[in-house]
């Protein structure tokens, strides 16, 4: 992660501020949380059919949990 931060800072000139330790801590906690949620899904779902049923329902929610802004109409329903 620090390599990516350094590439953005010195390669692209993108200012990330001075709190690299806080930024790294937030990224590590978020990564561990997503891994834990994925492992929970793998533990609960017993067959590929169950996974294929739940996957389209869970994936659109993940960006919302992370706090990303999603304009209306971003998630479309092909069955509507």
pLDDT of residue 75: 65
pLDDT bucket at 77, cuts 50 / 70 / 90: low
User: Residue 67 and residue 44: Cα distance in Å, rounded?
Assistant: 25
How crowded is residue 8: how many other Cβ atoms within 10 Å of its Cβ?
13
pLDDT tens digits for 1-58?
Answer: 778 878 888 899 888 778 778 888 888 898 898 889 888 888 888 888 888 888 788 7
User: Which tokens sit at 8?
Assistant: 């953005």
The domain locations on the chain are 19-63
């Amino acid at each position: 992660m620090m390599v990516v931060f350094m590439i953005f800072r010195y390669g692209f000139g993108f200012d990330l501020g001075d709190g690299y330790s806080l930024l790294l801590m937030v990224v590590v906690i978020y990564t561990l949380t997503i891994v834990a949620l994925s492992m929970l899904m793998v533990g609960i779902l017993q067959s590929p059919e169950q996974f294929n049923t739940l996957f389209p329902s869970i994936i659109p929610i993940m960006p919302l949990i992370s706090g990303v802004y999603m304009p209306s109409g971003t998630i479309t329903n092909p069955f509507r």
